[in-house]
Amino acid sequence: MAERRTYHHGTLRQALVDGAKEILAESGHEQFSLNEVARRAGVSTAAPYRHFRNRDELLGAVAEEGYATLADKLENADGLAALGGVYVRFAHDNPGLFVTMFRSRPGGTESAAGRAAFETLLRAVSAAQHSGEIATHASPEITARSLWVTLHGLAVLHLQQPHDRYGLGGEPEQLAATTLSALLGLKSD
Amino acid sequence: MAERRTYHHGTLRQALVDGAKEILAESGHEQFSLNEVARRAGVSTAAPYRHFRNRDELLGAVAEEGYATLADKLENADGLAALGGVYVRFAHDNPGLFVTMFRSRPGGTESAAGRAAFETLLRAVSAAQHSGEIATHASPEITARSLWVTLHGLAVLHLQQPHDRYGLGGEPEQLAATTLSALLGLKSD
DNA sequence: CTGCTATGTTAGTGCCGTTCACATCGAACG
DNA sequence: CGTTCGATGTGAACGGCACTAACATAGCAG
């Protein structure tokens, strides 16, 4: 990172979030280290504690930005199949970030962006139900939740089966299309 | 654990695996510590390295036993809805173990028990397709994979939404039934 | 009985997250 | 314009972690 001439960094908080994203992209969630983030930002290992209570809170801020990015990408997808492709593609392209976003942390706070992402999916499901593209076995809410669950499972398992085990190693868009087609009879043209 | 009178433990390897399971059950995957496992087994922190190359290899052995247990439970389930219930229930009752089994570890070895579990699901899907219980949008293999993906996503999201967010906090069997019904129109009685 | 090998211990290394006392600085106020 | 005060940074610690190297013990095979 750029040299710092002043005693105070000025924009350390965002620099830490950005650095954390970098590390997650390079080395994955398991290798993440708060000390390493501080080193990259050119500050002491104690500095981050002026902006975050602990390591988890920094990762939470990172996750929040991840949710916002994902919600935005989902918004620009048209149709259920495309939505699914975007979701799995996001996990594929940002595995460290994705794991950080959805790692088990009981009691985690609700994310506004996460909710927005779900609303986008919900709208797509409602439209597909009304157009008859998919069957109406349940309410839009339940159906959307069920589809989210499916896409999430697909993303998670895709990330950890790099050797194409169970055929889960293919291209994200293809995987999403095949899976939605198998469950819903959804055509993905 | 029981006091040890001899210099050599005798069955340390299994004691370590069992102790690791205990810790996972009590404190979860994130809190797991190899030193703590050694302490519980009443040996030095270096002893585990006579039986496992590193922490990950011990967790791998734990995961393998987890796969075997899960495969066994799935085998004794009748019908798709029951199978789904068993899967999500297992995650619910053994969150630490479940996370350990499916944590991201690129290049992880194929598990025989994991494969067996999938075969069980595959048989159930074939039967359901032949009886007309579910539609035949795709091959049994693809359909089984898609259902596994769904159940897995359900389990994962259930584990991390303890406050019933998105309605994912309910009883495992109920969640599985509702989800399969929404996607497939599957009746669960 | 002797010695080999498997399995244990002790004592260390370096990294981690976190805290505490102290340093610096910018902005708010007299 | 000078002072002070809160926000933000540093350096030096603490205990815990995964892991390693050198050494100790013991069970087993000759």
In the prediction, which pLDDT does A3 show?
58
Q: CA of B7 and C1' of D24: distance in angstroms?
A: 10
Whether B74 and B156 map to the same domain: the answer is yes
Q: For A169-187, how does the pLDDT look when each residue is reduced to its tens digit (9 = 90+)?
A: 999 999 999 999 999 998 7
Tell me what the pLDDT averaged over chain A comes to: 93
Q: CA of A36 and C1' of D14: distance in angstroms?
A: 20
Pairwise CA distance, residues A10 & B47, whole Å: 48
Helical ranges in A76-171 per DSSP H: 80-93, 95-102, 112-130, 140-160
Residue A49, C-beta contacts closer than 8 angstroms, at least 6 positions apart: none
Whether B44 and B69 map to the same domain: the answer is no
Q: CA of B91 and C1' of C8: distance in angstroms?
A: 36
Whether A4 contacts chain B with CB within 8 A = no
Residue B45 backbone phi and psi in degrees, to 5 = -70, -10
Question: Does some domain include residue B4?
Answer: no
Last residue of a domain, one of A18, A35, A52: A52
Q: What Cα–Cα distance (Å) separates residue A46 from each residue in A50, A52, A55?
A: 8, 10, 11
Pairwise CA distance, residues B112 & B118, whole Å: 10
Report the residue of A150, A151, A164, A181 to disrupt the B interface, i.e. the one with the largest count of B CBs within 10 Å: A150
The enclosing domain of A31 has a CATH number of: 1.10.10.60
pLDDT at A163 > cutoff 90: no
Please compute the mean of the pLDDT values over residues A60-66 and round it to a whole number.
96
Closest residue by Cα to residue A14 from A69, A73, A65, A70? A65
Whether A35 and A120 map to the same domain: the answer is no
Whether B22 and B99 map to the same domain: the answer is no
Question: Does some domain include residue B189?
Answer: no
Nearest-by-Cβ selection for A149 from B29, B157, B160: B157
Contact B104 A153 (CB under 8 A): no
Q: What Cα–Cα distance (Å) separates residue B126 from each residue in B101, B115, B129?
A: 26, 16, 5
Pairwise CA distance, residues A171 & B2, whole Å: 52
Question: Does some domain include residue A21?
Answer: yes
In the prediction, which pLDDT does A4 show?
72
Helical ranges in chain B per DSSP H: 12-27, 34-41, 55-75, 80-93, 95-102, 112-130, 140-160, 172-184
| pLDDT > 90 in chain A, percent | 85
B48 strand C contact, CB < 7 Å: no
In the prediction, which pLDDT does B189 show?
59
Closest residue by Cα to residue B121 from B156, B88, B86, B74? B74
Whether B126 and B180 map to the same domain: the answer is yes
In the prediction, which pLDDT does B5 show?
66
Structural domain that includes position A5: 1-52
Lowest mean pLDDT among A5-9, A21-25, A61-65, B167-171: A5-9
Question: Does some domain include residue A119?
Answer: yes
Q: Pseudo-torsion of CA B162, A157, A79, B81, nearest 10°?
A: -60
Please compute the mean of the pLDDT values over residues A97-104 and round it to a whole number.
92
Q: Provide the positions of strand C that have an atom within 7 A of a protein CB.
A: 6-12, 15-21, 24-26
Whether B106 and B36 map to the same domain: the answer is no
Whether A36 and A127 map to the same domain: the answer is no
Whether B94 and B13 map to the same domain: the answer is no
Question: Does some domain include residue A161?
Answer: yes
The enclosing domain of B134 has a CATH number of: 1.10.357.10
Nearest CA in chain A to B138: A182
Mean pLDDT by 10 residues, chain B (189 residues): 67 97 98 98 97 97 97 97 98 98 76 94 97 96 98 96 88 98 85
Question: Does some domain include residue B13?
Answer: yes
Last residue of a domain, one of A10, A29, A52: A52
Whether A100 and A163 map to the same domain: the answer is yes
Q: How many domains does chain B have?
A: 2
Contact B150 A145 (CB under 8 A): no
Whether B132 and B92 map to the same domain: the answer is yes
In the prediction, which pLDDT does A78 show?
94
In the prediction, which pLDDT does B141 show?
98
In the prediction, which pLDDT does B188 show?
66
Q: What Cα–Cα distance (Å) separates residue A8 from each residue in A43, A48, B125?
A: 9, 12, 62
In the prediction, which pLDDT does B9 show?
78
Question: Does some domain include residue A189?
Answer: no
Whether A135 contacts chain B with CB within 8 A = yes
Predicted confidence band at A131 (pLDDT cuts at 50, 70, 90)?
Answer: very high
Nearest-by-Cβ selection for A157 from B149, B167, B182: B149
Contact A104 B148 (CB under 8 A): no
Contact B145 A179 (CB under 8 A): yes
Residues of A in contact with B118 (CB under 8 A): 166
Whether B97 and B168 map to the same domain: the answer is yes
Whether B43 and B89 map to the same domain: the answer is no
In whole angstroms, what separates CA B134 from the centre of its chain? 26
